[in-house]
Amino acid sequence: MEEEEEEEEEEVGGGGVEKQQQQQQQQQQQQQQQQQQQQQQQQQQQQQQQQQQQQQQQQQQQQQQQQQQQQQQQQQQQQQQQQQQQQQQQQQQQHGAFNKLIGAELSTGSKGIHQCLPVASHLISSHLSKVTVRCTTECWTTPT
């Protein structure tokens, strides 16, 4: 009788070991699932970080493009200013040359008129009296 009881106890004890092993396996599977979920979350976070980095790069590129556009606009403005300055200088030179020719050399006759021609040919006529009248009234108000 005692031997049979011992055998039964062994069987019962053995069943307990199997249950523990099954529970441990289930726990391990759960841990593996949790680890997989954590890995997936990490991958998602990495993807989000990559997207954020791409967005930052795009923003930087847009800022660089805006800066380039601003620089181009500034260069265009500078070019326009230079052109305006050149035009003003040309006008001043023409007026100055015209002043000198009219004031100093008109009294010499045809020589003065001949030098005036390239500067203000539309104001010159064949008569000296008309030239002096036209120069004093028109050439200062209408740039050539």
Local structure of 74: helix, strand or coil: helix
- The torsion angles phi and psi of 120, rounded to 5 degrees, stand at -145, 70
Do 109 and 128 contact (CB within 8 A), yes or no?
yes
Tell me the C-alpha distance between 60 and 103, whole Å: 63
Kindly tell me if the per-residue pLDDT of 54 is higher than 80. yes
pLDDT tens digits, one per residue of 63-98: 999 999 999 998 888 888 888 888 877 776 666 666
Separation between Cα atoms, residue 98 and residue 83, nearest integer Å: 22
Flag whether pLDDT at 39 surpasses 80: yes
- Spatial CA neighbour of 139 closest among 96, 86, 89: 96
Percent of the chain with pLDDT over 90: 26
Q: SS3 of 124, please?
A: coil
0.75 exceeded by the pTM?
no
Q: In whole angstroms, give the CA distance from residue 84 to residue 90.
A: 10
